[in-house]
Amino acid sequence: MSKRKPFLIIFVCFLVLLSGLVYWFYYKDPKPFLKDKALSKEITSRMGRVQVKTIQDKVFLDERHVFVPYVTKNNKYGMSYWEWKNNKWRLLHGSSTRGPR
């Protein structure tokens, strides 16, 4: 029995650590959403030729999903969908068109 005790303690510690990491990585409450300047920079870097002039609004669909309409420097309208995933705000989809839809 005494040979199993150290193994059992290490195993229980490993399970506690693993469950804590899973909670932190997947179930932690989202951080505040990006500010307009950071949002413009992220959209520009992820979508290539799109240069954001104005962020029109931030519409929270729920606490982990956000819809962001914007206007580009070429006066085109665009939209992006964001999701809180793996402890970070991530751009799911973005597009720009000539006018409002």
CATH number of the domain that residue 89 is part of: 3.10.450
pLDDT at 96 over 80: no
CB 31 within 8 Å of CB 75 = no
Please say if the pLDDT value at position 65 is more than 90.
yes
Q: What is the pLDDT of residue 21?
A: 81
- Helices and strands, counts by H and E, the chain: 2, 5
Comparison of pLDDT for 52 and 49, the residue scoring more: 52
- Residue-number span of the structural domain to which 19 is assigned: 1-29
Residues 24 and 40 placed together within one structural domain of the fold = no
pLDDT value, residue 80? 92
pLDDT score recorded for residue 46? 85
pLDDT higher than 90, residue 35:
yes
Same domain, 22 and 44: no
